[in-house]
């Protein structure tokens, strides 16, 4: 369908109005993820494509869309974009080349082409490809898809070229898609070139500045990260006075590079400015919602990036409420006041932006007015069961006036640490009426009587036996990163490094815990004393079947032999000498004690196989 309307141009002294024909074209929907009023609507146009070449144009449009949606950071926000293509046939194929630019390609034929939008090379710089027929451009958009946010113009020429501005233009050169992404950096995010394009393009921008102070530069929050720094645009002249965040490391300077962190941040800030992540709410935003004893649900339908970086915060009268989920269920008993405003705030916490004002820039809120129908105020405890010595928080609900707790405090929340099971309540006074709340009972569970012990002392090579009691479950910690959940764990082949303090956490059936400790020693196996230092000589040592005991002491000598657990296994009272059989003893390390006229000495005996 063709529409006719009037285009008015205002000159210096003359208002010129002329009739313009607006043609209706078919609009191809390449991707539609949601309503036009809450999406970034990308319109792809083509110039220099004849009627028979329009299928090729649509193929290039889809190729561009796929490249765009998989490019960082757009790939995190794919569902924030709608894509449309509007095929406009040109009388002739190609683009105009006047050949007048000083840097014109000598091998490119000079030609004037009759195309729908008048695409041409040589707009000051030969590779700067622009359109001349902005009237046709404005008419196509106004008539076919006026709710656009970004316009891409694909020019049917294989020669290198493109431009950014109110629309992004690129040709079908072999580097077409990187060119397109570069130009969109200008058109969509307003980025500057990071190569020196000339003084006319120098300006304070997200990725361009005269400020060379690391502490205050625009991208100070990215300094030192992934090659971000301060780099002059060139040496000498004005270019040396302008700075960029990276050197040969950004799409805005050279093709086939990714966006630098600074350019990604600006792009993300642009995306999150145009699209609100809260798609829908239930109940409707701004509604007055009555609350009673039956739960009422408040839900958010969110437009989530991939991976999801949205954080949800619920507040009632500016006080935190809920658990940060998309669905909140409330009853009147859960509100600290009889009426007020429930607010849900959604913040995009994406790591792609470190902007100073990111919390304000990327936060969106919805609210409802809540009115309760409570009969009496209610006291609740965050924990109805606490372990002896622990505390919990009490909350007063449903008191519009002043309140006083049974403990004397007058705050809406109260921390208590009862020593025994206790009931708490408060009195609410409003308009000379007094109501006593329902009580909140806090049960106090005893902690277990934890014990810890061992069977030592130990020598190297022995097995350590730890012992605990008092609970239902156990958790041991000790030297050499020892951890065990056994009640009575063992440690075989002990070394001196196993000596030290062992702690056990004992938990009872109520979930209450206590700790106990035991300290053990592990001694190295030492050689026997030289015979000349012994009042009683034990030989042989190590021994197998027997030992001979001899002494130079006068009178009777008491000899006792103990195993590693301290159990008496042999004893003998003798004078001068005796022999003890050992064949009934298992191999291992034993300890002996010699007593003579009230004096005691000790030693070690190794029984071998």
pLDDT at 543 over 90: no
Q: Look at phi and psi of residue 256 and say left if phi exceeds 0, alpha if psi is from -120 to 50, else beta.
A: left
pLDDT of residue 15: 34
In angstroms, how far apart are the furthest CA atoms of the chain?
A: 140
pLDDT in tens, 145-202: 999 999 999 999 999 999 988 899 999 999 889 989 999 999 999 999 999 988 999 9
Q: Residue 412: is it exposed, middle or buried by C-beta count within 10 angstroms (0-12/13-18/19+)? A: middle
pLDDT in tens, 439-493: 999 999 999 999 999 987 787 888 999 999 999 999 999 999 999 999 999 999 9
pLDDT of residue 373: 64
* Average pLDDT of the residues in 322-350: 87
Which CATH number does the domain 21-189 belong to among 3.40.390.10, 2.60.120.330, 3.20.20.70, 3.40.50.360? 3.40.390.10
Three-state secondary structure call for residue 181: helix
- Topology, domain 451-523: Immunoglobulin-like (2.60.40)
Percentage of residues of the chain with pLDDT beyond 70: 94
- Topology, domain 276-372: Immunoglobulin-like (2.60.40)
Q: Which of 470, 463, 485 is nearest to 516 (CA)?
A: 470
Three-state secondary structure call for residue 19: strand
Q: Within 10 A of 348 (CB to CB), how many other CB atoms are there?
A: 26
Is residue 474 within 8 A of residue 501, CB to CB? The reply is no
Give helix 54-69 / helix 176-187 axis angle, nearest 10°. Answer: 70
Distance CA 176, CA 178 (A): 6
pLDDT in tens, 195-217: 998 899 999 999 999 999 999 99
Three-state secondary structure call for residue 469: strand
Distance CA 474, CA 555 (A): 54
Average pLDDT, the chain: 89
Q: Where are the beta strands (DSSP E) in 292-405?
A: 296-302, 310-316, 319-321, 327-330, 339-348, 363-372, 378-381, 385-387, 392-397, 402-405
Distance CA 279, CA 166 (A): 28
pLDDT in tens, 488-517: 999 999 988 999 999 999 999 999 999 999
Question: Residue written as tokens 């839900």?
Answer: 299
pLDDT in tens, 252-311: 999 889 999 999 999 999 999 999 999 999 999 889 898 888 899 999 999 999 999 999
Question: Residue written as tokens 């859960």?
Answer: 334
Superfamily of domain 536-607 in the CATH hierarchy: Macroglobulin (MG2) domain (2.60.40.1930)
- The number of angstroms, rounded, from the C-alpha of 277 to the middle of its chain's C-alpha atoms is 18
Distance CA 88, CA 70 (A): 27
Kindly state the DSSP code that residue 138 receives in the 8-state scheme. Answer: H
Kindly state the DSSP code that residue 528 receives in the 8-state scheme. Answer: P
Rounded to two decimals, the pTM is 0.59
């Amino acid at each position: 369908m063709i529409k006719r309307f009037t285009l008015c141009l205002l000159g210096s002294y003359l208002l010129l109005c002329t009739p313009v024909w607006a043609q209706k074209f078919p609009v191809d929907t390449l991707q539609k993820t949601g309503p036009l009023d809450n999406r970034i609507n990308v319109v792809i146009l083509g110039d220099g494509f004849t009627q028979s070449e329009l299928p090729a144009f649509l193929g290039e449009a889809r190729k561009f869309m796929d490249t765009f949606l998989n490019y960082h950071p757009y790939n995190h926000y794919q569902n924030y974009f709608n894509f449309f293509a509007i095929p406009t046939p040109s009388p002739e194929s190609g683009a105009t080349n006047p050949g007048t630019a000083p840097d014109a390609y000598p091998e490119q034929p000079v030609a004037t082409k009759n195309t729908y939008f008048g695409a041409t090379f040589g707009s000051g710089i030969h590779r700067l490809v622009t359109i001349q027929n902005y009237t046709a451009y404005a008419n196509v958009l106004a008539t076919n898809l006026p709710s656009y946010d970004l316009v891409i113009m694909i020019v049917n020429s294989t020669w290198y070229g493109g431009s950014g501005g109110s629309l992004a233009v690129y040709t079908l050169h072999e580097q077409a898609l990187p060119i397109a992404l570069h130009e969109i950096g200008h058109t969509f995010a307003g980025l500057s070139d990071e190569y020196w394009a000339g003084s006319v393009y120098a300006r304070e921008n997200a990725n361009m500045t005269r400020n060379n102070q690391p502490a205050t530069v625009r991208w100070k929050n990215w300094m030192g990260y992934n090659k971000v720094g301060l780099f002059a645009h060139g040496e000498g002249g004005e270019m040396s006075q302008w700075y960029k965040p990276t050197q040969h490391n950004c799409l805005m300077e050279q093709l086939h590079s990714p966006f630098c962190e600074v350019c990604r941040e600006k792009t993300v800030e642009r995306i999150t400015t145009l699209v609100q992540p809260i798609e829908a709410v239930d109940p409707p935003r701004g509604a007055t919602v009555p609350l009673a004893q039956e739960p009422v649900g408040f839900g958010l339908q969110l437009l989530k990036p991939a991976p999801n970086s949205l954080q949800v915060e619920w507040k009632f009268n500016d006080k935190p409420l809920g658990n940060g989920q998309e669905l909140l269920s409330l009853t009147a008993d859960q509100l600290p006041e009889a009426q007020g405003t429930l607010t849900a705030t959604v913040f995009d916490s994406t790591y792609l932006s470190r902007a100073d004002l990111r919390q304000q820039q990327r936060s969106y809120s919805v609210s409802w007015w809540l009115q309760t129908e409570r009969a009496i105020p209610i006291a609740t405890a965050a924990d109805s069961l606490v372990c002896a010595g622990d505390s919990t928080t009490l909350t007063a609900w449903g008191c519009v006036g002043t309140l006083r707790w049974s403990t004397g405090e007058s705050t809406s929340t109260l921390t208590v640490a009862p020593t025994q099971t206790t009931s708490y309540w408060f009195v609410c006074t409003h308009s000379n009426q007094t109501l006593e709340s329902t009580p909140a009972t806090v049960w106090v569970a005893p902690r277990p009587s934890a014990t810890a012990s061992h069977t030592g002392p130990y020598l190297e090579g022995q097995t350590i036996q730890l012992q605990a009691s008092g609970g239902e479950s156990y958790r041991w910690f000790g030297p050499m990163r020892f951890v065990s959940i056994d009640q009575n764990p063992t440690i075989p082949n002990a070394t001196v490094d196993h000596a030290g303090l062992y702690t056990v956490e004992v938990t009872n059936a109520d979930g209450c815990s206590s700790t106990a400790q035991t300290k053990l020693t592990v001694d190295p196996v030492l050689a026997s004393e030289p015979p000349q230092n012994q009042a009683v000589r034990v030989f042989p040592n190590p021994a197998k079947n027997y030992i001979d005991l001899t002494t130079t002491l006068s009178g009777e000598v008491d000899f006792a032999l103990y195993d590693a657990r301290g159990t008496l296994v042999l004893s003998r009272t003798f004078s001068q000498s005796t022999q003890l059989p050992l064949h009934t003893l298992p191999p291992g390390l034993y300890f002996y004690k010699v007593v003579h006229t009230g004096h005691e000495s000790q030693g070690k005996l190794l029984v071998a196989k």
